Copies of this chain bind each other. A is one copy, B any other.
Amino acid sequence: MSLATVQHLIEERKEHYLQQLFTLLKQKSISTTNVGVRECAELLNEMMQACGIQSRLMETAGHPVVYGEWIKAENAFTVLIYGHYDVQPPEPLEEWLSPPFEPTIRDGRIYCRGVGDNKGQLMAQVLAIQTYLDSFGELPVNVKLVFEGEEENSSPHLATFVEENKELLACDLVYTSDGPMHGSGIPSVELGVRGILGIELVAHGAKWDHHSGNMGNIAPNPAWMLIDLLNTMRDEQGRVLIEGFYDNIRQPTAYELDLLRKLPFEREALIEQIGYPDIEADAETFYRLVSLEPTFNICGFHSGYGGDGSKTIIPATARVKMDIRLVIDQDPDDIFQKLCEHVKKHTPSIEVLHQGDMKPSRTSAELEIVKVVTQAVRDAYRVEPLLVPGVGGSLPDYVWTQILGVPSVMVPYANADEANHAPNENMKVDLFYQGISCTCHVIHRLGELSK
C-alpha cells in the first residue's frame, strides 16, 4: 500500500483543509483569561467527529480535554497523539500587523494567534486521520487523541487526568507535534525535555524603606542579604553549590552525545542569534549545555528604586525569581527540599516561595520505535531528520513517560520563527500540509508494527 493516494488527496483538499484550520483559529481559546475555551473545545469536538473520530469532551478540574479515538483492534499498535487547543493571550495588540484572531495569509504564512502553538499542528493530526481514512477506509493502528485546554497555563490538571484514565489512555507510543522545528529547517525527532522548578526568594529587612543617610550600616539591607545567600548557592563558574543538587543526574549515553555532535551547529549564526559575542562552544558542548544539563537561572531580581537618577534608600524588601531547569533523573520536589534546607542553613529569615514545577522526561534514542518514527519523518520530508536526545524547554512530557510509562517522541511541524507567545504568530502554509502528510506517514509506518 503506497501513500501516493494520501498525497494526492491532500493536494486536492488544500483549500478545504486550510478553511478548516481557519474555522478553529477564529474561535478564541485563551486559557489564562478563560476566553472562549469551552466553545473551542466543543467546536474541535464537532470537527473531529466530522473527520471520522469518536470524540467527546472530558471534564477536568479546569478546562476540558477533547478526547478522541479510532480503534482498529484491541491488540493493534496504539499511538496516542497529544496536543492543545488553548492559546496564549494576544497582547500587545498594537504590534500585530493583522488582527490576532483573523487568520491572514502573507508571503506564504498564516498569521494568527495559536496557528503554530498549537492549532495548526493539532489540525494537521486530525486532518491526517481524515485523509488516511478517506484514502484507505481504515487506519492500520489504534489512534487515541488527547487535546488539552490548559497547556498555556502550565497544564495544571493533565497529570491527574492521565493518572485517572490510565486504562483509557493505554498505548505503545505518545506522539506530539508542538513547538518550532530546528533552526536549520530540518525536521527533527525529539526525545525528551528538561524539567523546571520555579522559585522566588524574598528577603525582608526593616518594615519600611529607610533613608540611607540616617540608617545606613544599621537597618539591614535585604538586597545584600540575597546577594550573600545567592553567592553560597553557586560558584563563579556557574556550578550549583546546593548539597546533592547533582546527585540524581543520569549522564547522557555515548550514543546520545554522538547524536549531539551530529546536530547542525554554526557558531557565527549562534552568536548572531543570541546577540552576544563571547560564545565558546562546539556542537556537543552547546547542545549538552542547553538541553542535557541543569540550569540555575535568575529570571528577575528586584529591590528598591529603579527609576531615573537615584533615591537614597535602604529597601525594605528584595526578591529574586529563579527558574531552575532539571534533567533526568532530577526530581523537582527533591531539589526544592534541598534548596530550602540550604536557605534555612545560611539565612533562615529569607522566604522560599514555590512557583510551580514540572518533571523532566527522556525516551531512549536507541528504541526500535524511535527508528520507525524517524523513518516515517524521513519518508514525509525526503530528508534525513535530526535525532535530538532532549530539548531545553519544559513540557508535560513526563505524564507519558513516567505516569503511563511509554516512550514519547516529539516531531514539531511549525517553522522555527513561528513567534509563538509573541505578536504576529505564524505558520508556513506548506509546513501545515507537510504536517498532515507526516502524520499519515507515521500512522503508516506504525501500522507495520501491528502486522
**A315 interface neighbour in B198, B300, B392, Cβ under 8 Å:** B300
C-beta contact mask, A298-342 vs B, less than 8 Å → 1, else 0?
111111111001111111101111010100000000000000000
Q: Determine the distance from Cα of A278 to Cα of B225 in the docked complex, in whole angstroms.
A: 14
If A223-B298, A302-B306, A306-B300 touch, whether A290 touches B208 (CB-CB below 8 Å) is: no
From A79-87, A91-99, A213-221, give the one contacting chain B.
Answer: A213-221
Main secondary structure, interface of A, reads mixed
Listed residue (A306, A309, A319, A321) with the most chain B CB atoms within 10 angstroms of its CB: A321
Q: Determine the distance from Cα of A310 to Cα of B325 in the docked complex, in whole angstroms.
A: 14
Contact B323 A299 (CB under 8 A): no
Contact A214 B392 (CB under 8 A): yes
Contact A293 B217 (CB under 8 A): yes
Contact B216 A295 (CB under 8 A): yes
Smallest CB–CB gap between A216 and chain B, Å?
Answer: 4
If A276-B207, A393-B214 touch, whether A305 touches B321 (CB-CB below 8 Å) is: yes
Residues in chain B near residue A313, CB distance under 8 A: 299
If A194-B213, A227-B230, A231-B227 touch, whether A221 touches B298 (CB-CB below 8 Å) is: yes
Asked whether any CB of chain B lies closer than 8 Å to the CB of A244, the reply is: no
**A297 interface neighbour in B221, B274, B295, Cβ under 8 Å:** B221
Q: Determine the distance from Cα of A355 to Cα of B316 in the docked complex, in whole angstroms.
A: 22
Q: Determine the distance from Cα of A422 to Cα of B428 in the docked complex, in whole angstroms.
A: 58
Contact A392 B310 (CB under 8 A): no
Contact A298 B224 (CB under 8 A): yes
Contact A218 B289 (CB under 8 A): yes
Asked whether any CB of chain B lies closer than 8 Å to the CB of A279, the reply is: yes
If A217-B238, A355-B310 touch, whether A297 touches B206 (CB-CB below 8 Å) is: no
Asked whether any CB of chain B lies closer than 8 Å to the CB of A281, the reply is: yes
Smallest CB–CB gap between A340 and chain B, Å?
Answer: 18
Asked whether any CB of chain B lies closer than 8 Å to the CB of A228, the reply is: yes
Contact B302 A310 (CB under 8 A): no
C-beta contact mask, A231-266 vs B, less than 8 Å → 1, else 0?
100101010000000000000000000000000000
Contact B301 A216 (CB under 8 A): no
Contact A301 B298 (CB under 8 A): no
Residues in chain B near residue A219, CB distance under 8 A: 274, 276
If A215-B290, A295-B212, A301-B318 touch, whether A234 touches B224 (CB-CB below 8 Å) is: yes
Residues in chain B near residue A230, CB distance under 8 A: 227
Asked whether any CB of chain B lies closer than 8 Å to the CB of A356, the reply is: yes
Q: Determine the distance from Cα of A200 to Cα of B302 in the docked complex, in whole angstroms.
A: 15
**A214 interface neighbour in B290, B301, B316, Cβ under 8 Å:** B290
C-beta contact mask, A183-206 vs B, less than 8 Å → 1, else 0?
000000000001010101000011
Contact B275 A208 (CB under 8 A): yes
Contact A276 B220 (CB under 8 A): yes
Contact B300 A301 (CB under 8 A): no
Residues in chain B near residue A211, CB distance under 8 A: 393
Contact B217 A274 (CB under 8 A): no
Q: Determine the distance from Cα of A295 to Cα of B224 in the docked complex, in whole angstroms.
A: 12
Q: Determine the distance from Cα of A184 to Cα of B85 in the docked complex, in whole angstroms.
A: 67
If A208-B275, A299-B312, A300-B304 touch, whether A394 touches B217 (CB-CB below 8 Å) is: no
28 A–B pairs (Cβ distance < 8 Å), ordered by A: A198-B312, A205-B276, A207-B276, A210-B274, A213-B392, A214-B290, A214-B392, A214-B393, A216-B297, A216-B392, A217-B289, A218-B281, A218-B290, A219-B274, A220-B278, A221-B298, A223-B320, A224-B234, A224-B298, A298-B315, A299-B313, A300-B305, A300-B310, A301-B301, A301-B302, A301-B318, A302-B303, A309-B355
A-B complex: 10 closest residue pairs judged by Cβ atoms: A207-B275, A213-B393, A216-B295, A300-B304, A217-B289, A300-B305, A302-B306, A223-B298, A206-B276, A206-B275
